[in-house]
Structure 1
Amino acid sequence: MTGLSELRWTEKGETRSALWRMDSGAVMPKTVVLADDTLTADSAYRLACAGTGLLWRSDFQNARQLLQAMARRMDQPKKTRAKKATSDAAPAPVPGAAFHAHRLAQSQRNRVLNSILVELDGDYGMALRRAPDVRQACVQAFGPAQGQRSVLSLRSLQGAVGAFEWRKNGVEVPGMGVALRIYPHYGVFSPVRGEYVDLVAQAPLPEALRTQSLAFDVGVGTGVLSAVLARRGVEQVVGTDLSERAVACARDNLQRLGLQNQVSLVKTHLFPTGQAALVVCNPPWLPARPVGLLDQAVYDEGSQMLKGFLAGLHEHLCEGGEGWLVLSDLAEHLGLRSREALLGWIADAGLVVLGRLDAKPVHAKAQDSTDPLYAARSAEVTSLWRLGAAG
C-alpha cells in the first residue's frame, strides 16, 4: 500500500489517530475538525479553503450532498475585473500558460473538495447513518484491511467505489470491428480514448513478424493493446509495466479474453530482454508531474518515458522490425512540447519515421467550447508513428 501515514485529531477530549490513505493524490490536512449535519456548505467551504480537514460524523448521504454543494461553489464562474486600458504592448504569450493555469485551478479545486473525510474501521466498514457497504470496493482498491482503522477523503472513497463498478461491469473498447470488453482495476487508467486502440488495430503489421512473430507492449496498462496484437495474429506478446496494479489488471483481462497463452507479462521499466519484430508504446501524452495514481497514465514529467522508449527502441528491434509510438499532439497545441523536439529525439535515437497514421479524437471535451483548453483539444490529433532503425 502506497502513501500511508498517520492522521491525528482530537475527539471527546482525546487524541485519536488512523492511517491516512492518499492513493488519489489527496494531501493530508494539517488540521482536522469534526463535522456533522449542522455544518453549512458556506462554513465547510471556508474551512476547506483554509486547508482544514472535515472528518464527517453524521449521515453519509448528507456528506455527499455537502460535497456536491461545495463543488457548485467551486464551479461558479469567477468575476474578473476589466483590465485598465494601456498603451503598452501586450506581453508575449507564455508557452503552456493556459495549461498550467488550468492545472493550478484543478489542483485547488481538488484540494478543497478532498477536505471532507470519512473514517473506515478495521474491515473497511463505516459507522455512519445510511452508509453503503464499501468493504469489497476497498479491498479491491487498497488490499486487505488487516484490522487497521483508516481515514480518506470522501472523493477518494467514491473513486474506489466507481472503480469497483468499472471492474465489475467492464468497458467496451472498439478494436478490429469487434468490441473488446476490458475490466479496469483501481489505479489503472481505463482505455476510454478508443481512437488509439483503433490505430493499433488498423496499422499494417511489419513484414518481420512473418519470421519472428514476437511483439513487445511497453507500458501494458489494462492489456488492451496486447489483446489487439494477439487478436491480429501475433503469436507471442510480452507486456511490461512498472506498476504491479497494471500487471495484475492486464493478467486479469487477458485471462478473461482467453489470451493468457499468447501474452506474457513482466514487471519492469520499459523493455523486456531481447528483440522483437514489433514494439508498441502508448506513453503518457503530457509532460507534467503526476499527482495521483491515474495521473501517471496521463502525465510524464520531462517526457521521461517517451524519451526512454525512443532511446532504447533501436537495440530492441530485430532486423526489419518496427516501433509503434502512439502519441497525441495535444502537448504541442498546449505549448508544452514542440514537433521539432519530438523529431529530434527520434533522430538522436538512430530512428527514422517509416509512416504515420492519424485519428481525430471524438471524446466530449474535444467538442466542448466551454472547456478552458478547448482551442488545443479541438485541434488535437492522435498519431501512430511507425519507426524503424536508421541505416
Structure 2
Amino acid sequence: MKTPSNNVAASVSAPATAFELLQWQEQDKASTALWRTGSSLPKPRRIEIADDTMPADTAFRHISEGASLLWRGDFQNARQLLLALGRRLDKKSRRKPSAAAGFPHAFHLFRQTQAQRARMLASLLIELDEHWHCSLRRAPDWRVACSESWGTVAVQAEARTVLVPLRDLLGVVGAHEWRKKGVEIAALDGARIHAHYGVFSPVRGEYLDLVMRAPLPAAGVSQAWDIGTGTGVLAAVLLKRGVKSVVATDMSERALACAGENLQRLGQAAKVELQRTDLFPQGQAGLIVCNPPWLPGKAASLLDQAIYDEDSRMLRGFLQGLAMHLLPGGEGWLVISDLAEHLKLRSREELLAWIASAGLKVLGREDIRPHHGKVQDQTDPLHAARAAEVTSLWRLAAA
C-alpha cells in the first residue's frame, strides 16, 4: 500500500488501540473497566484498593505477592509511592549474586531483572475516564498526552473507564514532552526531530554521522530507499546528502505519521514517499539504507521493537532481499552496532555468513565509537560490552 508523504499527517490521537475488560471487587460491589498498557504485560489477576494510608512496605508486600494496587488517594502521593517501590526493588536486585559468568548470561539476567522490575512497578494502577481525565486529588491534566499516545477510548456499555499502570502514564507524559521538545540533529544543521510515542528517538547520533560521511554511490543520487524509517531522520539525512528523492517504508502507522510530520516540518515532504510495507517497496533503487534493531531478542514494548529484533528477522530479511532490489552499481547500507557480538548474542562470523548467503559482497565499512553516557557508566551491568561497542555502516553490493 502506497501512502504519499504529503498525505501522511500526524493527528492529535494515536492509532486505535485494543482494550481488554478488567473486573474487580470494590466495597463489596463488582466493578468493571478497560485495561490499557503499552507493554506485553498481562492484565492484573487480583486488584486491591490502596490509598494514602498504605505504607510503602505494605504496598511492596502486596505487589510481591502478585496483587495490583488501584490507587484511590492523592495523585502526587501515588507518584511518591512508585518511587519508593522502585527503591525497594533496586535494593533487592543488588542483593542478587553477581553475574560473573560473563555474556550472554549477564545479559539474560539483566533482561530478566528489568522485566521483573517493570512487571512489579506496573502493579500500581490509576483509573481514567473515557476522556483520559483523572479525578484523583492533585492529578495533572494529561489528556492531550494520553490522546497522542493511546488514541480514543473505545467505551463499552459495561465499562466507561480505563485502568492504566501509573508507570505507563508517566511514560506517556515523558514521551509527550520529548515530542514537543524534539532532538537536535547535528547532521541536519541543528534541526530537530520529534519522536512520537512508541517511535524510537534518534538520541544516538553516531549512526547519522556514518550516513553523512559514507561515499554516495552515483546510482543512488536519483532515488534512495530508507527501510524502517521510524522518525524519518535517515530520509532527511539522505536528502541533505543530495539524494533527489526517497522512498521510506515502515510497518508502523505511528512511525509513518511521525516521519510525515517531521519531513513536513523540515520542508522535505514533497521529496519523500512513505509506504506502509514490510521491508522493501516494489522495484529497484541505487541506494537502500537500513538501520535495523541491533539486538536479537523479543520486544516487550513498543519502544523495544526498535532495540530487539526477534531471531534477527529484520536484519536477515534486509540482507536476503537486498540484491534483487539494487540497481546495477547500487549499494545497500546496513547501519548496525556490534553490541550483539560483545554480548555473545550473535557472532561476526554469522553476520558475514548471512551477507554471503544473500549473494552480497562487502565494498567497505565505516566505523565509529558511540558517545552516549552509558559508555562511561561503570555501574551498568552491560558496561564491559558497551565500552567495546562500535557502530558500523556496511557498504554492500550484489556479488
TM over 0.5: yes
- Unaligned residue ranges in structure 2 (runs of 5+): 1-15
Aligned residues: 378
C-alpha RMSD over aligned residues: 1.5
Question: Which residue of 2 is the match for residue 142 of structure 1?
Answer: 150
Question: Which residue of 2 is the match for residue 175 of structure 1?
Answer: 187
Question: Which residue of 2 is the match for residue 184 of structure 1?
Answer: 195
1:323 to 320, 323, 332: 332
Residue 321 of structure 2 is aligned to residue 285 of structure 1: no
Question: Which residue of 2 is the match for residue 87 of structure 1?
Answer: none
Q: Which has the higher contact order (CA 8 A, sep 6+)?
A: 2
Question: Which residue of 1 is the match for residue 11 of structure 2?
Answer: none
Over 3 Å counting, the alpha-carbon distance change for 1:71 and 1:94 in structure 2 is closer
- Aligned pairs for 1:248-287 (under 5 A) are 248-287=257-296
Give identity over the alignment, percent: 58
TM-score, normalised relative to structure 1: 0.94
| 3-state SS in 2 of match to 1:123 | coil
Write the distance in 2 (CA, Å) between the matches of 1:81 and 1:373: 15
- Aligned pairs for 1:76-115 (under 5 A) are 76=91, 78-79=94-95, 96-115=104-123
Does structure 2 conserve the Cα–Cα contact (< 8 Å) formed by 1:3 and 1:23? Answer: no
Q: Deviations over 1:16-60 (max 9, x none)?
A: 111111223343110001110011111111111222110100100
1:201 to 212, 235, 246: 212
Over 3 Å counting, the alpha-carbon distance change for 1:221 and 1:142 in structure 2 is same
| 3-state SS in 1 of match to 2:230 | coil
Write the distance in 2 (CA, Å) between the matches of 1:286 and 1:162: 25
1:246 to 255, 272, 282: 255
| 3-state SS in 2 of match to 1:8 | strand
Does structure 1 conserve the Cα–Cα contact (< 8 Å) formed by 2:229 and 2:255? Answer: yes
- Unaligned residue ranges in structure 1 (runs of 5+): 83-89
Over 3 Å counting, the alpha-carbon distance change for 1:312 and 1:269 in structure 2 is same
By how many angstroms is 1:117 displaced? 0.4
Q: Deviations over 1:68-124 (max 9, x none)?
A: 011111112633579xxxxxxx9xx57511110000000011111111000110111
- Aligned pairs for 1:39-58 (under 5 A) are 39-58=54-73
- Aligned pairs for 1:9-28 (under 5 A) are 9-28=24-43
Over 3 Å counting, the alpha-carbon distance change for 1:287 and 1:154 in structure 2 is same
Does structure 2 conserve the Cα–Cα contact (< 8 Å) formed by 1:254 and 1:260? Answer: yes
TM-score, normalised relative to structure 2: 0.92
Residue 85 of structure 2 is aligned to residue 73 of structure 1: no
Over 3 Å counting, the alpha-carbon distance change for 1:173 and 1:51 in structure 2 is farther
By how many angstroms is 1:3 displaced? 5.0
| 3-state SS in 1 of match to 2:144 | helix
| 3-state SS in 1 of match to 2:346 | coil
Write the distance in 1 (CA, Å) between the matches of 2:86 and 2:119: 11
Over 3 Å counting, the alpha-carbon distance change for 1:81 and 1:374 in structure 2 is closer
Equivalent AA in structure 1 for residue 395 of structure 2: R
Write the distance in 2 (CA, Å) between the matches of 1:28 and 1:81: 31
1:365 to 353, 374, 377: 374
| 3-state SS in 1 of match to 2:186 | strand
